[in-house]
A and B are shown apart, each in its own frame.
Chain A
Amino acid sequence: MQDEPSPIELTKSVADFLRNDISPLITGHQAFKLRVAINILDLVTRQLTREEDSDAAEVGRLRALLGIDGSVTELNRVLADRIAKGELDLATPGLADHLWATTMDKLAVDQPNYASYRRELGRGW
């Protein structure tokens, strides 16, 4: 077991430092690049915070859908392959719900302000 503070806390402290102390000092193209850098750190923080739980839930759904066990990467490969072969489609019970849940979990990390995501979130998840 590694010591604390956790990676989440460490990454967040760097992002906050850049946001609060450095960005007021920088202008022009470098300011744009700095915003991108801060966005990356924020994304990493969100992923570190959420990934364990969302992956576990995803694996649970994939096992039920596919009837096999494996890592989240392996199971996603199998799912992609079965959809490509036409063995699973939107008529398959649980597939649409699974894809929605998985996609919502991705947006929560990648682009939580994306308008389509906000709209769907407002419908209740």
Chain B
Amino acid sequence: MIEAELSRSVQRWCKGATGATSAAKLSGGASQETWRFDIVHPDGVIGAILRRSPKGYGAAPTRAAGLAAEAQLMQLAFEAGVPSPRVMHVLVPEDDLGTGFIMQRIEGETIARKILRDGEYAAARPLLARQIGGILAGLHWLPKDKLPELRSRGATQEISEFERDYRSLNWPKPVFELALRWLRDHDPGPSAETTLVHGDFRNGNLIIGADGVRAVLDWELAHLGDPMEDLGWVCVNSWRFGEIDKPVGGFGSREELFAGYEAAGRKVDPARVKFWEVMGTLRWGIMCGGMMQRFREGPDHSMERAMIGRRASETEIDLLRLLAPRGS
């Protein structure tokens, strides 16, 4: 069914294309879907990805940048040499596919546990922390005058927003309260420099091959803010998938991350990075609470959602390890 629309669409903008096949939905909530498909072309099949909001789901959730902004950011990143898929087409009404865009499909692995354990990535793994530093620097260098319109968020606003989210759950958690107090006491204030922040740069949102990072995905939480936020988030223990002594996604050390970042001509502020790591840990914990609420109130009454609610305690032990380490 979607192949008919895709076939008509690709023939309009992809020179020589004769149709689309092998469409399969990769993920999707009610308002946003990701599909893989192949563009049939006389020179050979072209792998493609569709990101879209189906018709009638135009509005983005409050924190999301929106698909149009995502497409623009990925294209900007691609042009600046940040590993990113090339955007091939931004959907127009004639496509009859809703709103969104079509991009080149990049082969590789996104499943964090495989990247951390499979032999195929063994040579790449020790290089990734430093490489990620360089990529984040590239991303933070993207020219601000070319960016789409994005929400702007500093540390102080983020603390208030997470506190509001947490209180709305009516889910008293002494460790989260402690973390909120710590964040308020250590709020670094506005950063000297405001840049593009990816917002969800972590192991799991990167396509990785034997040669390293091939693409940065999931730009939907992109915003303007403190560049150190991305460096802190990539270090959150939840994205180390068991490799807890390698803070950068389970790949390597903060020192390697920082060296890669500074080699690309940018400065690291380690105290701010730590602040954002604590913030990120709490952020994921509160998101687990949100999953519990969605399970309980019905929109997604799945076992998986229910079990994610039970992962909040992982962030509590990680917060205690950050804020009240034992034996110290």
Pick the residue among A37, A81, A117, A123 that contacts B317 (CB under 8 A): A117
Name the A residues within 8 Å of B175 (CB-CB).
Answer: 99, 103
Q: Specify the main secondary structure of chain B where it touches its partner.
A: helix
Name the A residues within 8 Å of B316 (CB-CB).
Answer: 103, 106
Interface hub of A80, A81, A117 (most chain B Cβ within 10 A): A80
A116/B244 in contact, CB under 8 A: yes
- Answer whether residue B303 sits at the interface, using C-beta atoms and an 8 A cutoff: yes
Q: How many residue pairs at the A-B interface have CB separations less than 8 Å?
A: 87
Q: Which of B47-55, B151-159, B258-266, B318-326 contacts A (4 or more CB under 8 A)?
A: B318-326
Complex Cα gap A106–B304 (Å):
19
- Answer whether residue A86 sits at the interface, using C-beta atoms and an 8 A cutoff: yes
Residues 85-106 of A, flagged 1 when their CB comes within 8 A of B and 0 if not, give 0100110000010011011101
Name the B residues within 8 Å of A116 (CB-CB).
Answer: 237, 244, 314, 317-318, 321
B244/A115 in contact, CB under 8 A: yes
Residues 212-250 of B, flagged 1 when their CB comes within 8 A of A and 0 if not, give 000000000000000000000000010010111000000
Complex Cα gap A84–B324 (Å):
17
Name the A residues within 8 Å of B327 (CB-CB).
Answer: 123
B143 to chain A, nearest CB (A): 40
- Answer whether residue B310 sits at the interface, using C-beta atoms and an 8 A cutoff: yes
Complex Cα gap A79–B310 (Å):
21
- A contact set with B: CB distance below 8 Å: 33, 36-37, 39-40, 43, 76-77, 79-81, 83-84, 86, 89-90, 96, 99-100, 102-104, 106-107, 110-111, 114-117, 119-120, 123
Beyond A83-B178, A107-B314, A107-B317, 14 additional contacts (C-beta under 8 Å) are: A40-B306, A77-B172, A79-B172, A80-B176, A80-B177, A83-B174, A83-B177, A90-B324, A100-B320, A107-B313, A110-B313, A111-B310, A115-B240, A117-B317
- B contact set with A: CB distance below 8 Å: 172-178, 180-181, 237, 240, 242-244, 303-304, 306-307, 310-311, 313-314, 316-318, 320-321, 323-324, 326-327
